[in-house]
Every structure is written in structure tokens, then in C-alpha cells.
Structure 1
Amino acid sequence: MARTTLSLILLSIIATQAMAQLSQTIELYTEKDCRGRKIRISEQYVEDLGVLAWNDIAKSVSVTGGWILYEHGFYNRGSNSGTEFIANSDCTNLQYLPEKVSSLRFAGDKSNYRINSVTLYKSRYFQEDEEFTTQDLRNLNMQEQASFIITGKAGWTFYDRTNFQGNSICVSPPNTDSPDPYFVPDMDQILNIRFNSIRSIKLGCA
């Protein structure tokens, strides 16, 4: 009986560790090559890094999952400024926003970045407001969309009318062997999907 209990405890520990490895986590560093002071942020958005005394400080990052970094607070709301997006990297020196990161957030499920999901963003390069789902949506709340991020291996069908009606297009991750999210920073230019045209979404390709 004791041996069974111990085995169950070990299995629980292993499962917990495995799930922790899939949670959305980012570490910010004050120096290049992930050196210097650091701060670790897990499973949460930060709309203002100034609250953590980390505004315009980071030069490099370590990332689990998919994260978007923004030049201004509140995910560049109303400013259309610089962004940098990174997925599953032991260490990345920031190319576009060294010492300029003011807010950040992840894409997908917070505790498992491999879950099938899609996140639509109001502006190009994943800026401003968002709408996230892991299941079918008959009627989107957000009527403006210019970019999106897909996580997981499944494709999604976008419709230009509610209730899965009208013209449709299916979008699938180009490399299902990769655990990284599929970043589409400009859906009009990259996939010829008109801005603000999506009204409903279905998981899978119809």
C-alpha cells in the first residue's frame, strides 16, 4: 500500500513538472545574452512594466511559449508603435526593442502554450485589443481585426458572416512539427484576409 501511494505521489510530481514546462513564461534581463539582473513573469500579462520597475530596461529575454513585447504601455494602445514577438527561446537578444519594452503579453493558453487556440488583434503586429478562443465562436465580440496568432496544430476557418456563414478561408500552421505559435502580423498582406472582415470562427478546416 505504501509503495502504491509513493508511486502515485511521484506520478503527480512528474505531471506537475511537465505542465510547468508548458506554461507561458518569460524572463527579462538587463544585459545581452541573458545576463545581469532578471525578472521572471509567468502566466500573466503586464500592461505597464513601470509598475515592476522594469520599463525600458530589458536587453534580452528567455521565453517559453509565445510572447509579444511592446514599445509602449497597454500593448501600444492608440500608438501603432514597435513590437517584437518571440517563441520558445533559451535566450534572445532584442533586435527591435532593446531598452524599449514597456508592456508584454503571451499568445494562447496561459498554462499550456500547445493547446489549439487563436487570438485576434485589433491592429497589425498584435497591438491593442484582442479576442482569444479555444473553441468555435458564432459571433465575434471584436469587430476590428488586423493580425492573429494560432497555437497548437489545428487549423481554423474564418467566416465573413456570423454563425459560420458567408465566404470562408481556412488557415493552418505551416509547420505542425513545430511547437511554436504561428504569428501572422498582417493578415491582409500575408494571407489576403481583409482587415476587419472576420465575424465567426470554427476550429478545424470545413
Structure 2
Amino acid sequence: MQSLLATLLVTLGVSAATILQKGSSLHRGSSVHSPSAVHSTSTVHTSALAHKFSSAVAYCYSQPRQGGCCLRLTESVPNLGICNFNNLISSVRLTGFWMFYENSDYNALPGRIYYGYGEDVSFTLPLAYRNIVSSVQVITDSMTMADNFIYFFEGPSCTLQSHKMKTSEASFGSLSNKFSSILLIGKRPWTLYTEENFRGRHVCVYPNIQYFAMHHQTSYVHHHESHQFGASSSSNYSVGIYTNMTMLGFDTTIIKSCKMGCFSKSNAEGGKLFLDGAVDNGGWGSLM
């Protein structure tokens, strides 16, 4: 369904995927230019992007530091070949939480993963992640410091389809045996249970991503975010990623219910993940 939608968007010129060139309007609802245009060397000037966005949007650029041709996304695209932008992304400006996968269908085949989140955040991908992205998934429509969500992915390391939980869920029903990894957004922990109705074995999961200024030097920032390197130990957003269900410490990988808040004496031993970069309004890093 998503592939068909993306095809229609490119064909009909509606706003979910927009290819932009020098001089193009960068406002919501811009029409799609000829797909072959993404292979040109024209430059999109970031001054035209001075406004911020209240909902998810990702401007994906073919050159570092938000240069070159630009693809504007407002929803997930399982195959960037549809937009003639496969293996072209080098830098990004985004609002929301977005994941960038080396392979189509959100890494239906194993591959590298990069992610970014926040409000109006710009970054250049490290060399190993440039010009490899084949699919993009938007995880949340916006990022606010009041958000508290948990996402369950059908694949390890936040791959394949995601399922969002905004509140406590007494039963996942038929989804219980499909979850393979977890993403948290927000400062509050969640309690996961092996049985329905908040029963069985239980464990708490917490945000586990940190940023240390000297951890990576491979990504860099530009223009309005150039102040960030070494200036902040973390962003204002709390995020947690558990790349597989064995990190929960259960003898089963099946989770049947969840509750917002911590109601267990056991905490998942997820370790800590490190961002490549962070600013007050967001962060970015790699999973594989």
C-alpha cells in the first residue's frame, strides 16, 4: 500500500515526496519536478528553509551540509527508487523521528541504519552512511519534550514495520509474537509483561541513548547548528533503543502487554547507545 502511495505521490505531485531544485518553492504542498532532476548538481539554499515545522518533515540532500538536490518527505518511503533518490542521501534537515535504511522496505535484508530526531535539526551523515540509503521510515510525526511513546518493531534494530503505543496496553493480541526490538521516546520508563493484563514476568525499560562530544568525529553540522559540538552532553529529548528482545532478560521474546511507568524491580540491561551528535533540539546516530 505504501509503495503504491509513494508511486502516486511522485506521479501526481502531492506533498509526501517532493524533489526540489535551486529556485524551487520549499513550502508544504510544492509540486514534484521531473524525477530525473535529482541527478543534477543544482544547489538548494538552506536560507529558504528558515521556518520551522510542527509536523514530521525530512529534507534529504544529495550533498553534505544540506547541498545539492533535495527530496522532501512527509511520510515513510519503503523504496527511494520510486523517487529516483536511491543511494543519494548525504545530509538531512528534519523534524520528527526518522530512520534511514541501507536496504528497501526498512531493511528487509540486513543493512546499515542511521537515525535522526528533534525539531528542525540538520546534520551530515558520516562517510560510511552517505549514498547508501534505500528506504526511509518516519517514526513519529513531531518531537516535543512532553512525548512519552513506545514503539515495537517487527525486525531487530528497529527494522521492518513499527507499532506505536501511546498508553498502557493490556493486550497486544496477535502482535505479541511479532516484536523484535523497541524504541522509546520520552522521559518516562515503561514496564513490559510476558502475559496479558500486566501479568507474568516484568521488566522496566528506560531511555538509554547518550551523547559524548568526543565519541565520534565523523559527522558534522552546518549553519544554525554549528554551535553544538562539545557544547552539550545530550539533547533535551530522551530516547531509548533496545535492538533485540533478549536485552529484556526474559527466557522468552514474547511481550503481551505494557504499562507506562516503572512497576517492576527489574530493569532491562540494555547498555548505553551513543549519538554521533546532539543539539538542544535533537540528535542523530547509527545503529548498525
| 1:113-192 aligned within 5 A | 114=145, 115-140=147-172, 141-142=174-175, 143-174=177-208, 178-189=236-247, 191-192=248-249
Distance 1:70 1:58 in 2: 11
Gaps of 5+ in 1: 1-19
Map of 1:202 onto structure 2: 259
Which of 63, 66, 69 matches 1:31? 63
The answer as to whether partners of 1:67 and 1:107 remain within 8 angstroms in 2 is yes
Q: Would the aligned equivalents of 2:97 and 2:142 in 1 still touch at CA under 8 Å?
A: no
Q: Helix, strand or coil: the match of 2:241?
A: strand
Q: Deviations over 1:49-101 (max 9, x none)?
A: 12221111111112323211111211122x12221122233222244431111
Deviation at 1:202, TM superposition (A): 1.0
| Equivalent position of 1:97 in the other structure | 129
Q: Which residue of 1 aligns with 2:25?
A: none
Does residue 57 (structure 1) correspond to residue 88 (structure 2)? The answer is yes
Matched with 2:48 is none
Aligned-pair CA distance for 1:194? 5.8
Q: CA deviation at 1:117?
A: 0.8
Conserved? CA contact 2:154–2:180, under 8 Å: yes
Q: Do the aligned partners of residues 60 and 167 (structure 1) sit closer, same or farther apart at CA in structure 2, a change above 3 Å counting? A: same
**Partner-residue secondary structure (3-state), 2:157:** helix
Q: Shift in Å at residue 33 of structure 1?
A: 1.8
* Structure 2 contact 191–260 (Cα < 8 Å) conserved: yes
- Matched length: 183
**Is 1:33–1:93's contact at 8 Å kept on the other side of the alignment?**
no
The TM-score normalised by the length of structure 2 is 0.57
Alignment TM-score, normalising by the size of structure 1 = 0.77
Q: Give me the whole-angstrom Cα distance separating, in 1, the residues matched to 2:95 and 2:128.
A: 20
- Once residues 244 and 203 of structure 2 are traced to their aligned partners in structure 1, the CA distance between those partners, rounded to angstroms, is 16
**AA in 2 matched with 1:40:** R
Greater percentage in helix: 1
Match of 1:41 among 69, 73, 77: 73
Residue 12 of structure 1 corresponds to none
- Counterpart for residue 86 of structure 1: 116
Amino acid at match of 1:107: I
Aligned to 1:13: none
Aligned residue type for 1:192: G
Query: Whole-Å Cα distance in 2 between the matches of residues 119 and 195 of structure 1?
Result: 19
Q: Could you list the runs of 5+ residues in structure 2 that have no partner in the other structure? A: 1-51, 211-233, 264-288
